[in-house]
Structures are given as C-alpha cells and as structure tokens.
Amino acid sequence: MSSREIFIKKLKRGDLFDAVVVGGGITGSGILRRLAMSGLNVVLLEQKDFAWGTSSRSGKLVHGGLRYIKQGQLLLTYHAVREREKLLKDYRKLISPLKFAIPLEDNSRAKRMAYRFGLSVYDLFAMKKTADYTPISELISDFKFINDSIFGAYTFFDAVTDDVKLTLQILFEALKYGCLALNYSKVVEINKIHSYYEVVFKDEISGERLSISSRSIVFATGAWIGEFNSSLSIRKLKGSHLVLPFEKMPIRYACAVFHPEDKRPLYIIPWNGFVLFGTTDIDYKENLNSEVKISKEETEYLLEALDYWFPKAKIVNDSVVSTFSGVRGVLNTHKKDPSKETRDYILKVKENMIFIAGGKLTTFDYISRKVSKKIFGLLNKNPVDVGFGKFDDYLKKVTGVVSMFDKLFWSSIEDKRFSEILKNSFVVHLDDLLIRRSRLGLTSPDGGVECLEKKKGLVMSSLGWNVEKYNKELRRYKDVLRYYRLDG
C-alpha cells in the first residue's frame, strides 16, 4: 500500500481533528508542522500535488527583500531577514548563502549613499556585515558577459533554496509527528455542525467524496483564498522565470539588475547547475486551476533585460532550457504598479476558521507561529513552545523523498530503495515525480523522459501501473511539460 492509500484509510476512521489545513504549499506545510509538533491532531488537504501552486514556482530566494527597504516596508524586511538567518542556521542542507552583486550604472554620490544606507540597514537586521564594493575590473571575471560600461557593483549576501524541496521537507517533518496529509484532495464544501466543521473533499484520483470533522480550519490556499473568503480583496499576480544553461551564462554568484525600461528589479541566480532569471510581475485573470505559462510578452521583456545587462551572452529563445510561471495572491490596494503591492501576509479569523494570504516563502515559519498561536486560542488550549526544529537527516534516510533531488539519484539508487521512496513520496502523476520530486522536468531538455524510460518497469511496479496506464501518464506529462517550455 502507498502512503496515500494508508492515509485515506486512516481518514475514513471518522476522527474529530483539532485542525484541518487546506493547501499544501509552503504555508500550509509550515502550519501543519507547527501544529503537529505542538501535539494537535491535524490533517492537510491539497487539491493537486504538494507544492503544485506558487511554492514550486517562486524565485527560490530566502531573503529579506532589499527592495522593500526602499518602499519603506522595514518591518517586513526585518522579519524576513531574521527568518532567513534562522533557516540558514538550522536548515543548512536546504538553504545556502548566496552572494549578490548590484551593478552600478550611475556612479553619483547620491546613488552610492542610497545603496550604502540600504545595505547597512539590511546587514544590521541580520546582525552581520556582508556589504562590500567590487570594481568593474574584478566583476568582469565573476560575470564574464556583463555590460562593461558599468562602474562596479555593491555586493551583499542573501540565501537560496529549492522551494519544492523545502516544502516537502517541512511537510515530511510534520508527518513524523503523526499528522496526516493528502494530495489530490480538493476541499469542495464546508458545513458547520454544532461546535465543529464538516470538511468535504473530493479524492481527485478515485472521484470519491469524503468528509472529515474538525474543530478548526486553516485556509492556506494562497492565490485561491478568495474561493473561501470573498471579503478578502486579493490581487492575483503572475511571475515568470527563465532557466538558462550555465555555459551560456557563466556567473560566479547572483546579480540584481533593473529592467532598462520600467526599472523593476530582476534577479539572475546560479541554481542547481543552471541559471534562473526573473521575474515578471503582471495581473493574472485566467483560471487558477490550470498550469500557468510564460507569455510571449513576458519572454521578450526578460530577454530585453538580459540583452541589456549581459549583451555578450547573446541569450535568445533557443538558449532557454525551460521556464516556470506562478501566481501569488497579494492584498489588493489597487496600486498602478503591481510590484508596489505589499508582499506581507494577511491573516483573518472568522469563528474557528483562519484565512491566510500573501506572505513569502522565506517567512513561512513566522506565519506558522502566528497561526499556531491563534489556533490554540480558538481551541481554548495553552500554546506549546516547540522551538524551531532542525533539518532532520534521519528523515532524509527514512523517507528518501528529499534525496530524489540529487543529480546522482537516478543513476545510483538501488531498485529496492527507489521503489520504497516512490511509494513513500505521494507520487500520483509523472509531473509529481519529474517536476516536484526531482527537477528533471526543468533541467533536462527532454524533461527527464529518457531517465524515466530507463526506470519504466520499476516505476510501473512501484506505482501499480500497467503499460496502458504508464502510456496515458506519459502523454499527460508531455502535455504538462509544454507549460514549462517556450516552444510548447
């Protein structure tokens, strides 16, 4: 039996839960982990795959957000920097320090003073000094193709992760404390019955409608929050990234540049042996439940900036290995420029239901702590201080889920272990396996299909598929992959 089947069986026992968490992104997983660590009886339901939403499509930065200082959002930056520092300490294997350069086109005293001030505040929040200056003579060797008409760059440190890997790690840590989590389980109805709620969900695999009872509900559904609470004014913003081959864009560390037209900040970062470049930030009006794809205009916008800052790299459509796009829900204050809308989180309470929107990958545990405190209040229980937790290597060995991201995994793993990990890791479709349990979908030109075909027999036997089912899933995967490619 797979972990998913075991969990469905357990849910059918009819327990009364302390809390149901709706949404299996980083926010929902973080909240599940906190509540489970505190000894509550909790379950998480995700309509698609874990991290399928924004939490697999972010810019991968664990950061304070230097630009928020310029916007005057000091508290948001402060909390995010503090969370970054905590994560860097306790989750070293998932989150790494990342040096950034901000190239200077304008060498005026005023500009230099502004950067020095911003970076000093940033470093002050972190209680460490990282800010420095690098002249163009040195910068050229760190960024081979950079526009050499610049003067030099200010440098500082932030951090980088793999958003899916982090989400799965946090989710699996929660499971260690005895809670339950189900992917492909869409919450379709909430009914209040006396002092508890009936949460009705559809098992998207069997088509069965199931219900569970809970004393409280947390809606951590990100951009989908409006479906559960229409009083929240949410603006849906789409952001897209390009994945480039490292050889085409050899960079020693990350670089923050401004788009030549609208002066929005963009990031170019080394990631997983590749280079990520993004993001765009535009209003999104389409269906949230289908895959999101970069538009022609977004691609042109990003390529224009690359051509301006790295003209010698000559990046064109054909250079791009893959792309990914995500939608975030932010508090709508009707700003003309979407990038000026706050990235802070929103928390609303109605009876025993908590609704969360906005926030950042970086601040997932900050939000989780706030929610956990509220839940204990709603349940009339005394909060339990459970500390922060640490990256658990033991967990990696037992479930193996996080190991699937390692480059050597597919070539070096023993068959028996591969099969165990597949059964443990809630893989339902091939995009779960190739886009969110590994990153082959983004980093291989063929999306990892060749790698998969070598393990076809093993995948089929582990997931209980016959040839017909495998072929159907492969067709589905190739269809999904089109959303991650420019030419799809």
Ligand X SMILES: Cc1cc2nc3c(=O)[nH]c(=O)nc-3n(C[C@H](O)[C@H](O)[C@H](O)COP(=O)(O)OP(=O)(O)OC[C@H]3O[C@@H](n4cnc5c(N)ncnc54)[C@H](O)[C@@H]3O)c2cc1C
> What is the Cα–Cα distance from 155 to 255, expressed in whole angstroms?
9
Distance set, CA 463 to CA 88, 138, 314, 428 (Å): 36, 52, 44, 8
List CB contacts of 405: < 8 A, sequence separation 6 or more: 162, 165, 437, 438, 439
Is the Cβ of residue 257 or residue 361 nearer to ligand X in the bound state?
361
Contacting residues toward ligand X, per CB under 6 A: 22-28, 45-48, 52-55, 58-61, 63, 186-187, 220-224, 239, 279, 326, 328, 359-362
Element (H, E) at 345: strand 345-350
Spatial distance between the Cα atoms of 299 and 307, rounded to a whole number of angstroms: 12
Per the DSSP assignment, residues forming a β-bridge with 153 are 103, 134
Q: Which of 399, 346, 306 is nearest to 221 (CA)?
A: 346
Q: Is residue 404 within 8 Å of 438, Cβ to Cβ?
A: yes
Enter the tokens of residue 424: 């443990």
Closest to ligand X by CB, 240 or 462 = 240
Quick check: 200 and 210 in contact, CB under 8 A?
A: yes
Distance in Å, CB of 367 to ligand X, minimum: 8
In the complex, minimum distance from the CB of residue 70 to ligand X, in angstroms, rounded to a whole number = 17
Write down the least CB distance from residue 234 to ligand X, Å: 12
Going by C-alpha positions, the residue among 417, 409, 447 that lies closest to residue 430 is 447
Minimal distance, residue 335 CB to ligand X, in Å: 16
Measured from the CB atom, the residue of 45 and 175 that comes closer to ligand X is 45
Smallest separation (angstroms) from ligand X to the CB of 179: 16
- Residue number with CB closer to ligand X (4 or 48): 48
Note whether 210 and 14 are within 8 A (CB): no
Q: List all residues 6 or more positions away from 133 whose beta carbon is below 8 Å from its beta carbon.
A: 152, 153, 154, 155
Q: Which is nearer to ligand X, 282 or 451 (CB)?
A: 282
Closer residue to ligand X (CB): 45 or 433: 45
How many whole angstroms separate alpha carbon 350 and alpha carbon 358?
18
Task: Supply the minimum distance, in Å, between the C-beta of residue 53 and ligand X.
Answer: 2
Please, are residues 95 and 160 in contact by the beta-carbon 8 Å criterion? yes
Spatial CA neighbour of 279 closest among 309, 307, 259: 259
Q: Would you say the C-alpha torsion 199, 389, 402, 94 has a positive or negative sign?
A: positive
For the bound state, the minimum distance from the C-beta of residue 458 to ligand X, rounded and expressed in Å, comes to: 28
Rounded Cα distance between 114 and 453, Å, is: 54
Nearer to ligand X, 139 or 159 (CB): 159
As measured in angstroms, the least distance from the Cβ of 151 to ligand X is 27
**Beta carbon of residue 63, minimum distance to ligand X (angstroms, whole number):** 6
Angle 444-24-267 (CA atoms, 0-180°, nearest 5)? 50
- Smaller CB separation from ligand X, 56 or 462: 56
> Whole-number minimum distance, CB 152 to ligand X, in Å?
25
Name the minimum Å distance from CB 238 to ligand X.
7
Please say which residue, 55 or 372, places its beta carbon nearer to ligand X.
Answer: 55
Give, rounded to a whole angstrom, the gap between the first and last alpha carbons of the chain: 36
Nearer to ligand X by Cβ, of 162 and 459: the residue is: 162
DSSP secondary structure of 125-149 = HHTS---EEEEHHHHHHHBTTS-TT
Nearer to ligand X, 134 or 362 (CB): 362
Tokens of 174: 């929660």
